[in-house]
Structure 1
């Protein structure tokens, strides 16, 4: 074993006593060089998405020491940039294992550094901490969550004063502060109860949560149109943070025929019925679809653990439930928001829809149909949030009417700066009822969009690369795609390679490659920023679905050969 790794391991064996779960885990590693290497071969990376990793002992794990050091680094950043009277940080957490523990440790560190820590009394979704950060005029915000990852993960998202996930420059500065710190010696802390008594830690008032719900309710675009809200809805929070805010918003706006998936109702970080609690994944939606069939539901909704993503299923003409992709739901919502605002006379002067570069390009055609401009940004909702902020600085905050990414994240207002599944669930229900009142299903509406703009097939394939060897392998694969001079995929000629590492269209540099193919198709390859995965996105335009699927299959076969070879 590498002597430096062995030294790290032995220091942890001696000093990691703050969490009783760590010592037995460290002792169990003794003699297992592979386990020790995986736990210590690197520090858990802090980036624009904050931290994310497997819960456990080691520098490459999520634990109390990693959270405390990150919180100390963030404290130093806030102290460097904000006067004493403006130093406060909002904190939220979801249902994941140790989320509440990590949230309280962060509060203890902030308070010990003279930064007031505002923390929710119970788990709350991502959009709530974005809203609280803005409303309470905090210098920063954090959300303890690993979003949609499996149960063994947890994470630490960081938000700027604008309620948007931290920019690259700010994240790099926080990382610099973190790297100066000794993991076991340099993080200040006071006891949580002591902080509450002293006022350096405070519960976020219920009024902030209520105000958030009211902002979501304002996102309605139905106007004076007739709408029958008596539809049967099945909802699953996937054992996460969405239960209370989603149900409250829907019930307060007239949707009362709601059945909750019992096994996935209460917060549970083990996610016993959906090991991968991601609404993008069929298995996570399976139990909800069983409920939908049992109760003859019109619509199925499921939000991920931190309630920033939502997936849906609807009935087809044969009465079977069909899951919609993030792109399909986003296309429908884009069209609905544009159409209703046009009819209501609420379309702003220079309306803007914002999407990521891996999201379907068909959005541009849908928005263009209504005279709405589309802005493309890098992958990650923080870039959509940044664009909203730029519009606000130009006095055009009202110009933003909708934004989404293909990974099931949507936002229709500027009250928060991250994707919001509470808002999305509300808008989806309104859209569904609006069309149903007129005898139109969402699948009918989707077909109408394809007839108007042409069929577009979008698919995502992820390839897992665990551990140190996997990290190296992903780098090698990205280099191959970048330098091999690829001329075609599946018989489709590569017309252009967009290498976002070089900085394109004024966007920040990012490790993303987009191959533009003949016939209005594309292939995007990128490493995930939050998981040990390589992601590939395939877009095919064709006269109909069958033709698109034939082309897509050939492209995917070429991709798999290149990645696996």
Structure 2
């Protein structure tokens, strides 16, 4: 197999004494026995995407290892010294249950401390939202969490947080990347200073738990809490370190943990994917719920920023909510609570994303507040909080099963969201209703919105080129009609231009540039195409809607909307 000279040049750098003998041995073996794997390991450098840097663990520039993370940390150290010159620099570091997360976290801590930066390192695995909280709680300049979120076991990742507790956003991300790319691997200082590394645990835990209870509790009577039967699974992840404690502190006693999934385990042995977006991930939790007749099922991904929720439908059967549904029900509840407390002043806002349900805009309008819409990723919602300090953030979410309440945590937070959804469920049950019935009531008021997501995986160099070509085709040969409905508007976030096909007029998009394309149809349907920033995937998001005349018509209208989505997918040849 022929390997490009530029790739071989990179490989040869990794065969110099800067790199340890074990790394060099692995590369030497790959050159003869696995040239295709060698090419994939070196053909590019890992980059920051919507969720930070994420990739397969192994040797090479396109892999997560001590050198790629060390180089990023050295670059970040140099940037911090430049931006906060003269200050005593502090960073917080957390890690999840994945293989090598603890050792990689120590590598990162060593590099920071070797550069004279004080490090607060969690002594054990902790949820990502606790890291976001800890950055502000400990007055740090930055934070790092070692996690690959919901990716398969062979992945790991590196999320960077700024002093506001939110993930990196422009211009910091670009400036840091420039510094990182200017470094040689020989510039990394791996010799840690233990005097600058402080291990943290219970003190920060207690503060985080209390903050969560304060932000996500809404005067639910203890009798209502006592009557709610909860099934919870951490899916072998970090939320076991927080959620049982938070629910207990909040007064929920009937919490049933799926025993087979209780212990953290980077192999995720009981699930195909540790992602609550995937229905099968909650199979064991649903089985336990039926066995004990639970009211609600909640589950989290490995780093506990995403949550999955299942509740009983109108027929009493357990039904998984999608991310848009759980986001809408939580947002509507928060807005109603704020209205009842007479706290709405028209200076508040909720947050959402361009690929999430349009129903968020309808909710904001109904309560007389603003819904700020940004790109995919909670870093943009956190940026809204930072950029608009005179406005108060109530809550917000995105379709990918994430939600955030208030501003104590500046990232999606399954710990707080699970407490909130239990509050909603307990209050609804006490009132003779349910979460699902409340969701149906919203459809009666605002229309029945149904969303669906397709992810198409394309691995390696060829896959990346295929994804690129798919976006080129959608731009250069735009669809004029889909499923019998005219395309009335196309928004291209890469060019920051939108075209109204009815008037043939274009207008500027003020949201930051991103490789996203959105088609709007004349019946209110919305189709979005977006290559993932952290995975070898292209994602297509579909949103359709219809009037819901009555509760009794719910199942019929849902079937009609499902058929509409299937027809759109078939016509776009995405099956």
Find the partner of 1:202 among 198, 203, 215: 198
In structure 2, C-alpha distance between the alignment counterparts of 1:248 and 1:478, rounded to whole Å:
46
Q: Structure 1 stretch 513-522 or stretch 365-374: which is displaced more?
A: 365-374
Structure 2 CA distance for partners of 1:5 and 1:558, relative to 1, 3 Å: same
Conservation of the 8 A alpha-carbon contact between 1:25 and 1:56:
no
In structure 1, C-alpha distance between the alignment counterparts of 2:47 and 2:441, rounded to whole Å:
45
Tell me the TM-score normalised to structure 1 length: 0.94
Deviation of residue 477 (structure 1)? 0.8
Q: Does 1:535 align with 2:532?
A: no
Conservation of the 8 A alpha-carbon contact between 1:491 and 1:554:
no
Structure 2 CA distance for partners of 1:325 and 1:104, relative to 1, 3 Å: same
Residue 554 of structure 2 is matched in structure 1 by none
Deviation of residue 17 (structure 1)? 5.7
Find the partner of 2:482 among 476, 489, 499: 489
In structure 2, C-alpha distance between the alignment counterparts of 1:104 and 1:137, rounded to whole Å:
21
Conservation of the 8 A alpha-carbon contact between 1:491 and 1:555:
no
Q: Does 1:350 align with 2:347?
A: yes
Q: Does 1:302 align with 2:295?
A: no
Deviation of residue 505 (structure 1)? 4.0
Residue 153 of structure 1 is matched in structure 2 by 155
Structure 2 CA distance for partners of 1:502 and 1:450, relative to 1, 3 Å: same
Conservation of the 8 A alpha-carbon contact between 1:54 and 1:153:
yes
Q: What does 1:64-103 correspond to in 2, within 5 Å?
A: 64-103=66-105
For residue 501 of structure 1, give the secondary structure of its aligned residue in structure 2. Answer: coil
Q: What does 1:167-182 correspond to in 2, within 5 Å?
A: 167-182=169-184
In structure 2, C-alpha distance between the alignment counterparts of 1:468 and 1:449, rounded to whole Å:
45
For residue 224 of structure 2, give the secondary structure of its aligned residue in structure 1. Answer: coil
Q: Structure 1 stretch 167-176 or stretch 72-81: which is displaced more?
A: 167-176
Structure 2 CA distance for partners of 1:492 and 1:426, relative to 1, 3 Å: same
What is the aligned residue count? 552
Q: What does 1:77-156 correspond to in 2, within 5 Å?
A: 77-156=79-158
Residue 366 of structure 2 is matched in structure 1 by 369
Deviation of residue 482 (structure 1)? 1.1
In structure 2, C-alpha distance between the alignment counterparts of 1:69 and 1:14, rounded to whole Å:
16
Structure 2 CA distance for partners of 1:15 and 1:460, relative to 1, 3 Å: farther
Find the partner of 2:327 among 327, 330, 333: 330
For residue 160 of structure 2, give the secondary structure of its aligned residue in structure 1. Answer: strand
In structure 1, C-alpha distance between the alignment counterparts of 2:393 and 2:221, rounded to whole Å:
23
Conservation of the 8 A alpha-carbon contact between 1:223 and 1:344:
no
In structure 1, C-alpha distance between the alignment counterparts of 2:53 and 2:297, rounded to whole Å:
32
Conservation of the 8 A alpha-carbon contact between 1:16 and 1:22:
no
Deviations 1:507-564 (A, max 9, x none): 1111111111111111000101110000000111123222222221111112235xx8
Residue 418 of structure 2 is matched in structure 1 by 425
Structure 2 CA distance for partners of 1:508 and 1:497, relative to 1, 3 Å: same
The gaps in structure 2 that reach 5 residues or longer are: 497-507, 548-556
For residue 406 of structure 2, give the secondary structure of its aligned residue in structure 1. Answer: coil
Conservation of the 8 A alpha-carbon contact between 1:138 and 1:161:
yes
Conservation of the 8 A alpha-carbon contact between 2:493 and 2:509:
no
Structure 2 CA distance for partners of 1:16 and 1:55, relative to 1, 3 Å: farther
The gaps in structure 1 that reach 5 residues or longer are: none
Structure 2 CA distance for partners of 1:36 and 1:300, relative to 1, 3 Å: same
Residue 405 of structure 1 is matched in structure 2 by 398
Deviation of residue 226 (structure 1)? 7.4
Deviations 1:481-503 (A, max 9, x none): 11113202222211000111123
Tell me the TM-score normalised to structure 2 length: 0.92
Residue 216 of structure 1 is matched in structure 2 by 212
Deviations 1:144-193 (A, max 9, x none): 1011111111000001111111012211111111112222x1100224xx
Structure 1 runs of 4+ with >6 Å offset:
none
Structure 2 CA distance for partners of 1:232 and 1:87, relative to 1, 3 Å: same
In structure 2, C-alpha distance between the alignment counterparts of 1:515 and 1:410, rounded to whole Å:
25
Deviation of residue 59 (structure 1)? 1.2
Q: Does 1:234 align with 2:231?
A: yes
Q: Does 1:270 align with 2:267?
A: yes
Structure 2 CA distance for partners of 1:522 and 1:22, relative to 1, 3 Å: farther
Deviations 1:277-327 (A, max 9, x none): 110001211121112122221111101111111001112344431100011
Q: What does 1:389-538 correspond to in 2, within 5 Å?
A: 389-392=386-389, 394=390, 396=391, 399-503=392-496, 504-538=508-542
In structure 2, C-alpha distance between the alignment counterparts of 1:296 and 1:445, rounded to whole Å:
20
Conservation of the 8 A alpha-carbon contact between 1:120 and 1:203:
yes
In structure 1, C-alpha distance between the alignment counterparts of 2:393 and 2:7, rounded to whole Å:
50
Q: What does 1:13-52 correspond to in 2, within 5 Å?
A: 13=15, 15=17, 18=20, 20=22, 23-24=25-26, 27-28=29-30, 30-47=32-49, 49-52=51-54
In structure 1, C-alpha distance between the alignment counterparts of 2:493 and 2:169, rounded to whole Å:
17
In structure 1, C-alpha distance between the alignment counterparts of 2:116 and 2:222, rounded to whole Å:
54
Structure 2 CA distance for partners of 1:235 and 1:225, relative to 1, 3 Å: closer
For residue 235 of structure 2, give the secondary structure of its aligned residue in structure 1. Answer: coil
Conservation of the 8 A alpha-carbon contact between 2:216 and 2:417:
no
In structure 1, C-alpha distance between the alignment counterparts of 2:173 and 2:345, rounded to whole Å:
34
In structure 2, C-alpha distance between the alignment counterparts of 1:556 and 1:163, rounded to whole Å:
39
Conservation of the 8 A alpha-carbon contact between 2:55 and 2:156:
yes
In structure 2, C-alpha distance between the alignment counterparts of 1:522 and 1:19, rounded to whole Å:
53
For residue 572 of structure 2, give the secondary structure of its aligned residue in structure 1. Answer: helix
For residue 218 of structure 1, give the secondary structure of its aligned residue in structure 2. Answer: helix
In structure 2, C-alpha distance between the alignment counterparts of 1:24 and 1:537, rounded to whole Å:
40
Find the partner of 1:388 among 385, 389, 404: 385
Conservation of the 8 A alpha-carbon contact between 2:455 and 2:539:
yes
Structure 2 CA distance for partners of 1:188 and 1:353, relative to 1, 3 Å: same
Conservation of the 8 A alpha-carbon contact between 2:26 and 2:59:
no
For residue 543 of structure 2, give the secondary structure of its aligned residue in structure 1. Answer: strand
Conservation of the 8 A alpha-carbon contact between 1:93 and 1:103:
yes
Q: Does 1:257 align with 2:254?
A: yes
Q: Does 1:547 align with 2:550?
A: no
